[in-house]
A and B are shown apart, each in its own frame.
Chain A
Amino acid sequence: MRLWLELKHGLARLLRRTRDERELQDEVQHYLEQSIAERVRNGASEEDARRAVRHANGNALYMREEVRSFGWEQRVETLTSDIRYAWRRLRQTPAFTIVAVLSLALGIGANTAIFSLINATLLKPLPVERPEELAYVRSSSSSFSYPDLDELRRLNTAFSGLAAFGGITGSLRVGDETSLVVGAIVTGNFFSVLGVNAAAGRVINTDDDRTPGAHPVAVISHRLWQSRFVGSAQAVGRDVRFNGQSFTVIGVLPPGFHGAVQGQVRDIYVPMMMQAVARPPRGQYSGDMDANLLNRRANRWLTAIGRLRAGNTPEQALAQLTVISQQQERLQPANGQRISTAAVIMVKDGLGDRTQLVTVSRLLLFVVGAVLLIACVNVANLTIAQSGARRKEVAVRLALGATRHRLIRQLLTESIMLSALGATTGWVLSWSAIRAMRAAPTPEGALPITLDFSMDARVLLYTAVLAVATGILFGLMPALTSSRPQLVPALKDQGTGKSDSRAGLGGRSTLVVAQLALSVVLLVTAGLFLRSFARTQSLQAGYDTERVAFSPLRINLLRYTRAQGRTFYRQAVERIEAIPGVESASLARWAPLEGGNSIRSLLVQGIEGPPEVFSREVSDPTVLAANAVNVNTVGTRWFATMGIPIAQGRDFTVQDDSGSTAVAIVNEAFVEKHLVNAPAIGQRVSLDGPKGPWREVVGVVRNFKVTSLTEVPQPLLFLPLLQSHETGMTIFVRSRSGSTAAIENQVRSEIQSLEHNLPLSSVNAMSALVSTSLYTARAGARLLLAFALMALLLAAIGLYGVVAYTVSRRTREIGLRMALGAQPNAMMFGVVRQAATLAGVGILTGLVVALGTTRMLDAFLFGVESYDGATFATIPFLLLAVAIAASVVPARRAMRIDPIRALRAE
């Protein structure tokens, strides 16, 4: 009730100011007149009565002020008048305003951009219904098989719905174009568990997931709709070919929905029952086998996501799922193939290893935080410089009775308005930068996650809070110091002598030193990353990256049989070698630096070893068991095609086929590790245990990079394709000329004419893979350099400001000296020397801090120590040069001071 009355009266006051003001005037007037009349009635004279009443109550103005200042609306009024005043002031000093706003725009904009990145990848919840209720379910080997998950789905009560999904990569043919898409295969309840509806058409439901092979429908993402279907309204209902089979598009998803895992973008969704076509078994010819994985417990490839029922915790769910697995094992034993649940992870906690992402985010936040800090210091310095000019105004207001509190509030309003303008400009800058980044997306596979920026309400709030905090940060100190001037000298427009200016200068100098120190830290960091990148870039891959083009031939998506596969590969190589301009062509299962590897068990004849046999595909082979080796299957003359030198023995030839001796080729690292006792050529190894087949080593090749450019050479073993036929081969083409540009199109059209359902996104030179593997290092180094240069620019502006201030403060002194005969040059050098000293202190401080903190960067650097001498030695000189350059302009102004005018000025 009271609140309502407060609100009502306050609003009435605000909206009907004039009427309310007049009423107040009347009321006060009436009171005073009546008081005076009363006294007169009691015998006093008019004069005395008036005086007595004024003595008792104050005059009318004072009384009105007393009454008026009560109430919340008054604060609103003062705020609006503060804002209007601040706006006027800022417009009166355009130079100051523009420099300040730009500095803040850089600082706040950088923070907004980085935060929107963190928002999209780490913070934003999935765009689904009530994401806090969702949880992932993982097995002890991380994935589940379909039969296992189906059991859990049917028998659990902890979840109101449990859905399964798996990743698929398939060929999508829309109209005449075939390309690769990354998507997901999902159970019928997937979209209803998540609570996602289609933006057009409909999503997959349980009716689309009943009979294997009977539901060729697909749902596409918004961005796929825009890119491949050009946002056409006829997309829904259209027929496309996925992995060679006809599918109907039944719906388009809303923008922003990318799948069930944050950071992984899925562009197409098909029902689980279509698995045989959409997600054929990998590594083997799916055309030769029953491609149905839906009844095979041994194939684990699915993750589950479920919505917890109210009151159920993830721990309870985990317990229940474990019990269900145990019970089912008793009822229907599955020879140890049934796998149990290992973890129920809330979706908001994220799937997979996010520690690296978090570390990178922290680093980026630190860097942009430093940039913002430097910008703040700049604006604080500028504000202090400004306050010198306003001393008189402040003194007048204080003399008229303004409280210090009121003054500070008004000055802070100015600061916050400044930072609000900076934040708005920064937001626009950030938005444009992000648009530019979106137009030039990162190459496929360059980053472990899909880079996304999301400038939503959360980012807006962050920016707003940052703006206010920034305003207070750089505005508070100047406001506090400038609201306490010495009144009399200020009113008389006099300088207050040395003490005042020295204190101000001391404060500003400290700030500039801090700015320079921070710049040093950032520059050193950027320098280290740049050197690391340069080192990485100069590494040799070990094969011809410019002359060799590659293209994955994903025939396994099209359910080829082994016989069809052999024929296809043979024909592909023949037809491509027939292209003029092509020197040779060959095949390999894994392309170097692309990120796939086979690991198989290894036995060397004559050396004891564990008899276990295994074979699996991994993406990160760095941690290998002692008896495991990285295996690649390659065609004839692959090494020659790639330009990999043969150190001993020979390359594979057509004679190495299924009729002849089983052979293998190894690299030098393999020889060093496994074949030390005797000459390599002629030794025998087995990948299938003691029973063999034993393969004879016929060649040793030089080491080359397989996983990353910075890797330590690892043992590699190669099998000939004709003796170990596999699917999923990539073709490599060696050009006669120095580059692949001339042959790329022809290669593509030859392959496409051989099989037009094959997705061929591009035929690229191997250097593209190298470039992709360097992407993170390059982008990171460039980004850091950009921020460090921003910081340097801001610090230089800060230094310029302080030097200019010093010169203006010492105008009299300099004028006097020059009148007494000092050389103008000497004056200038004096100023520059002072600036250099300041810079020197800042640089030294920065170096010390940098030495202490760059240790944390060790994990990111390659070939460069975190205390790298070259970097630490050159940065100080660079900074000193910039500092001197920044101080030269105001210093030259010192030279040109007219002594007479200087002495006359006060």
Chain B
Amino acid sequence: MDEPSTDVIQGTLDMLILKTLSLEPMHGFGVARRIEQITRDVFKVNGGSLLVAFKRMEREGLLESEWRETENSRRAKFYNLTRAGRKRLEQERADWSRRAGAITRLLATEA
């Protein structure tokens, strides 16, 4: 059997990014690693998709960015949630619960 897909569920990358950044501001790699860690490698993000998502969300006003020094004294672009971002996170979280709950209920019904 093929290896299980580690791709992010379509449409949820934004939510994962928002949640990760809600804990603390981070650079791109940091977000990728945190997602991998917390989901225990169920989801692995593609670098290109991640950076494109950052760009898109920054244009939507959900994130803001600034160049800072990392702990390794390297320069990196750090992203942070805006207030609109936090609101969007809540919306997405609620929406996900609603849908996931519905699927769970459906799958739980006896044949």
- Nearest chain B CB to A65's CB is how many angstroms away? 9
Inter-chain contact A31/B47, CB cutoff 8 Å: yes
Inter-chain contact B76/A27, CB cutoff 8 Å: yes
Contact residue among A9, A23, A35 (Cβ-Cβ distance under 8 Å from B77): A23
Flag whether A654 is at the interface (Cβ < 8 A): no
Flag whether A237 is at the interface (Cβ < 8 A): no
B67 / chain A contacts, CB cutoff of 8 Å: 23
Question: Considering the chains assembled together, what is the distance between the CA atoms of A833 and B35 in angstroms?
Answer: 76
Given A30-B29, A38-B33, are A5 and B60 neighbors across the interface (CB < 8 Å)? yes
Nearest A residue (CB) for B60 = A2
B61 / chain A contacts, CB cutoff of 8 Å: 1-2, 5
Flag whether A62 is at the interface (Cβ < 8 A): yes
A66 / chain B contacts, CB cutoff of 8 Å: 48-49, 51-52
Flag whether B75 is at the interface (Cβ < 8 A): yes
Q: What 0/1 pattern do residues 6 to 48 of A give for CB contact below 8 A with B? A: 1001000000000000010011101110110010000000000
Interface residues in B43-87 (C-beta closer than 8 Å to A): 44, 46-49, 51-52, 55-56, 58-61, 67, 74-77
Interface residues in A47-79 (C-beta closer than 8 Å to B): 56-58, 62-63, 66-67, 70-71
Inter-chain contact B48/A62, CB cutoff 8 Å: yes
> In this complex, which of B46, B47, B52, B74 has the most chain A Cβ atoms within 10 angstroms of its Cβ?
B47
Flag whether B19 is at the interface (Cβ < 8 A): no
Question: Considering the chains assembled together, what is the distance between the CA atoms of A35 and B28 in angstroms?
Answer: 10
Given A23-B77, A31-B28, A34-B29, are A9 and B47 neighbors across the interface (CB < 8 Å)? no
Question: Considering the chains assembled together, what is the distance between the CA atoms of A636 and B20 in angstroms?
Answer: 112
Nearest A residue (CB) for B49 = A66
- Nearest chain B CB to A505's CB is how many angstroms away? 46
- Nearest chain B CB to A9's CB is how many angstroms away? 5
Inter-chain contact B48/A27, CB cutoff 8 Å: no
Question: Considering the chains assembled together, what is the distance between the CA atoms of A62 and B46 in angstroms?
Answer: 12
Inter-chain contact A35/B52, CB cutoff 8 Å: no
Question: Considering the chains assembled together, what is the distance between the CA atoms of A6 and B56 in angstroms?
Answer: 9
A5 / chain B contacts, CB cutoff of 8 Å: 58-61
A57 / chain B contacts, CB cutoff of 8 Å: 46-48
B28 / chain A contacts, CB cutoff of 8 Å: 27, 30-31
Nearest A residue (CB) for B31 = A31
A30 / chain B contacts, CB cutoff of 8 Å: 27-29, 74-77
- Nearest chain B CB to A189's CB is how many angstroms away? 57
B46 / chain A contacts, CB cutoff of 8 Å: 56-57
Question: Considering the chains assembled together, what is the distance between the CA atoms of A214 and B35 in angstroms?
Answer: 95
Contact residue among B30, B47, B58 (Cβ-Cβ distance under 8 Å from A32): B47
Inter-chain contact A56/B47, CB cutoff 8 Å: yes
Question: Considering the chains assembled together, what is the distance between the CA atoms of A70 and B48 in angstroms?
Answer: 11
- Nearest chain B CB to A28's CB is how many angstroms away? 7
Question: Considering the chains assembled together, what is the distance between the CA atoms of A32 and B50 in angstroms?
Answer: 12
Question: Considering the chains assembled together, what is the distance between the CA atoms of A58 and B29 in angstroms?
Answer: 15
Interface residues on B, range: 20 to 34
Q: Taking chain A's interface residues, is the majority helix, strand, or loop, or is none over half, making it mixed?
A: helix
Q: What 0/1 pattern do residues 1 to 45 of B give for CB contact below 8 A with A? A: 000000000000000000000000001111011000000000010
Inter-chain contact B59/A6, CB cutoff 8 Å: yes
A26 / chain B contacts, CB cutoff of 8 Å: 75-77
A38 / chain B contacts, CB cutoff of 8 Å: 29, 33
A9 / chain B contacts, CB cutoff of 8 Å: 58-59
- Nearest chain A CB to B57's CB is how many angstroms away? 11
A34 / chain B contacts, CB cutoff of 8 Å: 29-30, 33
- Nearest chain A CB to B42's CB is how many angstroms away? 15
Given A27-B76, A30-B76, A67-B52, are A35 and B47 neighbors across the interface (CB < 8 Å)? yes
Inter-chain contact A31/B29, CB cutoff 8 Å: yes
A27 / chain B contacts, CB cutoff of 8 Å: 27-28, 51, 76-77
**Chain A residues with a Cβ closer than 8 Å to the other chain, count:** 24
B44 / chain A contacts, CB cutoff of 8 Å: 56
Question: Considering the chains assembled together, what is the distance between the CA atoms of A62 and B55 in angstroms?
Answer: 16
B77 / chain A contacts, CB cutoff of 8 Å: 23, 26-27, 30
> In this complex, which of A1, A38, A56, A71 has the most chain B Cβ atoms within 10 angstroms of its Cβ?
A56
Question: Considering the chains assembled together, what is the distance between the CA atoms of A32 and B30 in angstroms?
Answer: 11
- Nearest chain A CB to B34's CB is how many angstroms away? 12
Inter-chain contact B33/A67, CB cutoff 8 Å: no
- Nearest chain A CB to B82's CB is how many angstroms away? 10
Question: Considering the chains assembled together, what is the distance between the CA atoms of A70 and B33 in angstroms?
Answer: 24
Question: Considering the chains assembled together, what is the distance between the CA atoms of A6 and B60 in angstroms?
Answer: 8
- Nearest chain B CB to A303's CB is how many angstroms away? 61
B59 / chain A contacts, CB cutoff of 8 Å: 2, 5-6, 9, 71
Inter-chain contact B47/A70, CB cutoff 8 Å: no
- Nearest chain B CB to A502's CB is how many angstroms away? 46
Question: Considering the chains assembled together, what is the distance between the CA atoms of A660 and B92 in angstroms?
Answer: 113
B49 / chain A contacts, CB cutoff of 8 Å: 66
- Nearest chain A CB to B55's CB is how many angstroms away? 6
Inter-chain contact B29/A35, CB cutoff 8 Å: yes
- Nearest chain A CB to B65's CB is how many angstroms away? 9
Question: Considering the chains assembled together, what is the distance between the CA atoms of A5 and B61 in angstroms?
Answer: 7
Question: Considering the chains assembled together, what is the distance between the CA atoms of A30 and B78 in angstroms?
Answer: 12
Question: Considering the chains assembled together, what is the distance between the CA atoms of A27 and B70 in angstroms?
Answer: 12
Question: Considering the chains assembled together, what is the distance between the CA atoms of A593 and B75 in angstroms?
Answer: 92
Question: Considering the chains assembled together, what is the distance between the CA atoms of A566 and B67 in angstroms?
Answer: 103
Contact residue among A1, A63, A71 (Cβ-Cβ distance under 8 Å from B47): A63
Question: Considering the chains assembled together, what is the distance between the CA atoms of A38 and B47 in angstroms?
Answer: 14
Nearest A residue (CB) for B28 = A31
Question: Considering the chains assembled together, what is the distance between the CA atoms of A38 and B67 in angstroms?
Answer: 22
B33 / chain A contacts, CB cutoff of 8 Å: 34, 38
Nearest B residue (CB) for A1 = B61
Question: Considering the chains assembled together, what is the distance between the CA atoms of A125 and B49 in angstroms?
Answer: 56
B76 / chain A contacts, CB cutoff of 8 Å: 26-27, 30
Given A5-B60, A34-B29, are A71 and B55 neighbors across the interface (CB < 8 Å)? yes
Question: Considering the chains assembled together, what is the distance between the CA atoms of A67 and B67 in angstroms?
Answer: 18
- Nearest chain B CB to A10's CB is how many angstroms away? 8
- Nearest chain A CB to B81's CB is how many angstroms away? 15
Nearest B residue (CB) for A38 = B33
Question: Considering the chains assembled together, what is the distance between the CA atoms of A212 and B47 in angstroms?
Answer: 91
B52 / chain A contacts, CB cutoff of 8 Å: 66-67, 70
- Nearest chain A CB to B24's CB is how many angstroms away? 17
- Nearest chain A CB to B69's CB is how many angstroms away? 12
Question: Considering the chains assembled together, what is the distance between the CA atoms of A67 and B55 in angstroms?
Answer: 8
- Nearest chain B CB to A36's CB is how many angstroms away? 10
Question: Considering the chains assembled together, what is the distance between the CA atoms of A1 and B60 in angstroms?
Answer: 8
Nearest A residue (CB) for B36 = A38
Question: Considering the chains assembled together, what is the distance between the CA atoms of A66 and B33 in angstroms?
Answer: 20
B55 / chain A contacts, CB cutoff of 8 Å: 67, 70-71
Question: Considering the chains assembled together, what is the distance between the CA atoms of A30 and B61 in angstroms?
Answer: 24
Question: Considering the chains assembled together, what is the distance between the CA atoms of A551 and B14 in angstroms?
Answer: 90
Question: Considering the chains assembled together, what is the distance between the CA atoms of A28 and B76 in angstroms?
Answer: 10
Given A2-B59, A23-B77, A38-B33, are A63 and B27 neighbors across the interface (CB < 8 Å)? no
B48 / chain A contacts, CB cutoff of 8 Å: 57-58, 62-63, 66-67
B29 / chain A contacts, CB cutoff of 8 Å: 30-31, 34-35, 38
Nearest B residue (CB) for A8 = B59
Inter-chain contact B60/A28, CB cutoff 8 Å: no
- Nearest chain A CB to B48's CB is how many angstroms away? 4
Question: Considering the chains assembled together, what is the distance between the CA atoms of A2 and B85 in angstroms?
Answer: 13
Nearest A residue (CB) for B6 = A56
Nearest B residue (CB) for A62 = B48
B74 / chain A contacts, CB cutoff of 8 Å: 30
Question: Considering the chains assembled together, what is the distance between the CA atoms of A23 and B52 in angstroms?
Answer: 14
Question: Considering the chains assembled together, what is the distance between the CA atoms of A790 and B26 in angstroms?
Answer: 69
Question: Considering the chains assembled together, what is the distance between the CA atoms of A30 and B67 in angstroms?
Answer: 12
The contact sample of 16 A-B pairs, CB cut-off 8 A, is A5-B59, A5-B60, A6-B59, A9-B59, A23-B77, A27-B27, A30-B75, A30-B77, A34-B29, A56-B47, A62-B48, A67-B48, A67-B52, A67-B55, A70-B52, A70-B56
Given contacts A2-B59, A6-B59, A66-B49, list 11 more A-B pairs with CB under 8 A.
A5-B61, A26-B76, A30-B76, A30-B77, A31-B27, A31-B32, A58-B48, A66-B48, A70-B52, A70-B55, A71-B59
Nearest 7 A/B pairs, CB to CB: A57-B47, A34-B29, A66-B48, A63-B48, A67-B51, A31-B29, A31-B28
